[in-house]
A and B are shown apart, each in its own frame.
Chain A
Amino acid sequence: MNKIFSVARMEILDIRRSKLMLSLLGFFLIAAIVSVVVASIDFGVKADAYKTYTDALAASGITNPATAPQLFPLHLMRAAIEYLEILGALFAIILGYAAIAKEKQRGTLSLLFTRPIGNFTLVLGKLGALALVWLAFVSIVVLATMLTAVIAGHAQLSATDVGRLLLTILGAWIYLLVWTAVAVSIASTSKKLTTALIVSIVLWLLVVLVIPQVGDTMDPDNQVPGGLFKSLQIAKPDETAVLANFTGYNSARDALEISSVTKHFERYTFAFLGIKDQYNQQPIGTVWAGVFINALALWLFAIGTLVISLFTTKPKTLLRTSK
């Protein structure tokens, strides 16, 4: 156990010393904070527009039929979560890749494995360290964006909101661990490190950007600005009835979407943050019941990729691919 801790301590020290890693994580934090500021200003603009509209109607003696825009503090975090979904996954790949690549580049593996360490010591130490780094990073991002929402967006948080945020941190942490484990596996099994990095990036491109984009494109409701069914003036129950005739198409679209871990992460976090309308202001138990399958999928992806990385990062494989 002490040896695993030693590897983990060394890994954390390396990350702390890497200017590139710190710059990337800093860049992400700034992008996330800016996104909350932008969302807060955007809400303020909409609230002002509503007030102007109401005042104009009142001056004409007409009652405003439209409902006022309501601030849900956690909604301000939507873009930050999307950054975690896209850029967080990319940075998780980079960190996972770097953990293995640096040992291969420095030629320290041969020396390391002359010591009496077990098959899984190195990988457990490295993954443990990366898990800690991600937990700290996700917590900092969520805390910083929430503070920004409170300061810039004048948002007020309830105790339930804190619970939702903790569950969001948990989901984001698992999601980033999946990508780190994927990169660790690819870097361990590749003889050429550049190939490992590019294969990981191509995988990221397909799973994070292309598959969800194709899924969204295939949604008929996304095909017309403002929504197809709204443009056809069709009520929700009728919409459901019409779509029941297209189960084959919708199942294919759904199958494509659920093959991507990113979509599960998105559905999970959007539900807990109330971004998805049907879960907004619902009790946590109700939300949990609704997204249980996505939470389960996230865990399964994490367990699967971590197990694969354990078995692909054995001394034998590392020594063979680092020659």
Chain B
Amino acid sequence: MKAIIRQELLALSRERLPLMLFTVFVSMISVSSLIGFLTKTTVSDVWIRTREAGLTSAPNPFASLSPLYYARNSIIYIILVGTLMAIIAGVSSALRDRKAATIDLILSRPTSRSAYIYGKLIGITIWLSLSLFLVGVIAAVVISIIFGAALPASDYARLAVFFLLALPLLSGFAAIGMFAGLLSKRETSALLLPISFWAFVTFVIPQIGTAARPVALLNPVPLPPTSGGPFGALNFFIGPFAVSEQFKVASGKILNDPDISGDFSKAIISILGFAVLTSFLISMVKRTSIRGVLSE
């Protein structure tokens, strides 16, 4: 299995497509802190102007916010860019040996099907954790520069836990990508099916449970379900499957965001459950499917 993990890491570091998404991911996480800073500064300036003009006596809504506020938008980029990066890494990994027609040779060696599949998944997960470590360091440095001083140790710890929490989410989507890549007969459907699944989980499921509109779901703050009607009950049953919304809840709580409401432990169970279920899912792929001919 070690050889498969090593080979997976080597292949991912050489492939251009996951690297392209990784570049977008790193850029967006870096820029998101800056956007948070610009917005906070502007809002504070708006408040100063309105107060000076005697238009309001309300306190500055941003006065007591922690520096971790600047990391708020990273949540949405992990959901939008990070998960797609993970899916593409998973699909590329699953298709690689099938496209190169080396899969028969690999499986002729004393390697079990599960060692092959899980070796690849572990390899991708290590690659994802290295990526998250890098973006976490960048985010911590950018936020410290914006804040003008080193953050309290507890804030760095919260940032670390936040990026650590992203790992099971991304790993789960990578497993979905692998699942599609191992089963699909065509390269196009191997890419499109997990992306459609991602769209379903990110936009459709949360909408059914909360009545939130798709564009509102691009907000890092999850919307609570509409009170009354069937939404409370629907959200109780469907909510845990809206893993991206659960990630927003858990991350917001970790980052001390005062606008976040929701059950933290339920959110954590949902994210970890997603990672476990998807890794179980790929174990069900049969040897004949893995060796199936790719028609493109």
Chain A contacts with B in 194-215, Cβ cutoff 8 A: 194-195, 197-199, 201-202, 205-206, 209-210, 212-214
User: Closest Cβ of chain B: how far from A299's Cβ, in Å?
Assistant: 23
Known: A194-B191, A212-B218. A105 touches B61 (CB 8 A): no
Chain B contacts with A in 1-37, Cβ cutoff 8 A: 16-17, 20-21, 24, 28, 31, 35-36
Instruction: Assess the A193–B50 pair: CB atoms within 8 A.
Output: no
Known: A202-B20, A206-B24. A193 touches B196 (CB 8 A): no
Known: A79-B213, A242-B55. A197 touches B35 (CB 8 A): no
User: Closest Cβ of chain B: how far from A83's Cβ, in Å?
Assistant: 6
Q: Is A49 in the interface zone, CB < 8 Å from B?
A: yes
Q: What 0/1 readout, one digit per residue, does chain A (77-111) give for beta carbons within 8 Å of chain B?
A: 01100110111001000100110010001000000
User: Closest Cβ of chain B: how far from A35's Cβ, in Å?
Assistant: 6
For B18, give the chain A residue with the smallest CB separation: A198
User: Closest Cβ of chain A: how far from B34's Cβ, in Å?
Assistant: 10
Instruction: Assess the B20–A85 pair: CB atoms within 8 A.
Output: no
Q: Provide the residues of chain B in CB contact with A225, threshold 8 Å.
A: 221, 259
Q: Is A41 in the interface zone, CB < 8 Å from B?
A: yes
Q: Provide the residues of chain A in CB contact with B189, threshold 8 Å.
A: 20
Partner of B55, one of A44, A194, A232: A232
Partner of A98, one of B39, B188, B195, B229: B188
Determine the distance from Cα of A201 to Cα of B20 in the docked complex, in whole angstroms.
11
Q: Provide the residues of chain B in CB contact with A31, threshold 8 Å.
A: 200, 203-204
User: Closest Cβ of chain B: how far from A172's Cβ, in Å?
Assistant: 15
Q: Is A223 in the interface zone, CB < 8 Å from B?
A: yes
Q: Provide the residues of chain B in CB contact with A245, threshold 8 Å.
A: 45, 49
User: Closest Cβ of chain B: how far from A109's Cβ, in Å?
Assistant: 15
Chain A contacts with B in 213-266, Cβ cutoff 8 A: 213-214, 216-218, 220, 223-225, 228, 231-234, 238, 242-243, 245-246, 249, 266
Q: Provide the residues of chain A in CB contact with B16, threshold 8 Å.
A: 195
Partner of B38, one of A48, A212, A218: A218
Q: Is A38 in the interface zone, CB < 8 Å from B?
A: yes
Instruction: Assess the B296–A105 pair: CB atoms within 8 A.
Output: yes
Q: Is B199 in the interface zone, CB < 8 Å from A?
A: yes
Is chain B's binding surface mostly helix, strand, loop or mixed?
Answer: helix
Instruction: Assess the A246–B218 pair: CB atoms within 8 A.
Output: no
For B49, give the chain A residue with the smallest CB separation: A242
Sample (15) of A-B pairs whose CB atoms are under 8 Å apart: A31-B204, A38-B208, A39-B211, A41-B230, A45-B229, A78-B213, A82-B215, A86-B215, A198-B191, A202-B20, A224-B61, A234-B56, A238-B50, A245-B49, A249-B38
User: Closest Cβ of chain B: how far from A157's Cβ, in Å?
Assistant: 21
Q: Is A307 in the interface zone, CB < 8 Å from B?
A: no
Determine the distance from Cα of A24 to Cα of B28 in the docked complex, in whole angstroms.
29
Known: A83-B203, A85-B215, A242-B46. A232 touches B58 (CB 8 A): yes
Q: Provide the residues of chain A in CB contact with B296, threshold 8 Å.
A: 105, 193
Partner of B84, one of A205, A217, A233: A205
Q: Provide the residues of chain A in CB contact with B203, threshold 8 Å.
A: 31, 83, 86-87
Instruction: Assess the B61–A223 pair: CB atoms within 8 A.
Output: yes
Instruction: Assess the A45–B199 pair: CB atoms within 8 A.
Output: no
Instruction: Assess the A42–B35 pair: CB atoms within 8 A.
Output: no
Instruction: Assess the A238–B55 pair: CB atoms within 8 A.
Output: yes
Q: Provide the residues of chain B in CB contact with A35, threshold 8 Å.
A: 207, 213-214
Q: Provide the residues of chain A in CB contact with B20, threshold 8 Å.
A: 198-199, 202
Instruction: Assess the A209–B50 pair: CB atoms within 8 A.
Output: no
Known: A205-B81, A209-B218, A242-B50. A42 touches B211 (CB 8 A): yes
Chain A contacts with B in 108-153, Cβ cutoff 8 A: none
Q: Provide the residues of chain B in CB contact with A231, threshold 8 Å.
A: 58, 61
User: Closest Cβ of chain B: how far from A108's Cβ, in Å?
Assistant: 14
Q: Provide the residues of chain B in CB contact with A87, threshold 8 Å.
A: 199, 203, 214
Chain A contacts with B in 19-48, Cβ cutoff 8 A: 20, 24, 27, 31, 34-35, 38-39, 41-42, 44-46, 48
Instruction: Assess the B47–A79 pair: CB atoms within 8 A.
Output: no
Instruction: Assess the B39–A82 pair: CB atoms within 8 A.
Output: no
For A19, give the chain B residue with the smallest CB separation: B189
Instruction: Assess the A101–B196 pair: CB atoms within 8 A.
Output: no
Determine the distance from Cα of A136 to Cα of B124 in the docked complex, in whole angstroms.
42
Determine the distance from Cα of A284 to Cα of B3 in the docked complex, in whole angstroms.
66
Instruction: Assess the A194–B17 pair: CB atoms within 8 A.
Output: yes
Known: A212-B218, A233-B56, A246-B42. A42 touches B226 (CB 8 A): yes
Q: Provide the residues of chain B in CB contact with A198, threshold 8 Å.
A: 17, 20-21, 88, 191
User: Closest Cβ of chain A: how far from B184's Cβ, in Å?
Assistant: 10
Q: Provide the residues of chain A in CB contact with B28, threshold 8 Å.
A: 210
User: Closest Cβ of chain B: how far from A78's Cβ, in Å?
Assistant: 6
Q: Provide the residues of chain A in CB contact with B228, threshold 8 Å.
A: 45, 48-49
Q: Provide the residues of chain B in CB contact with A86, threshold 8 Å.
A: 199, 203, 214-215
Instruction: Assess the A82–B213 pair: CB atoms within 8 A.
Output: yes
Determine the distance from Cα of A171 to Cα of B91 in the docked complex, in whole angstroms.
34
Chain A contacts with B in 167-188, Cβ cutoff 8 A: none
Determine the distance from Cα of A210 to Cα of B214 in the docked complex, in whole angstroms.
14
Determine the distance from Cα of A246 to Cα of B43 in the docked complex, in whole angstroms.
10
Instruction: Assess the A205–B24 pair: CB atoms within 8 A.
Output: yes
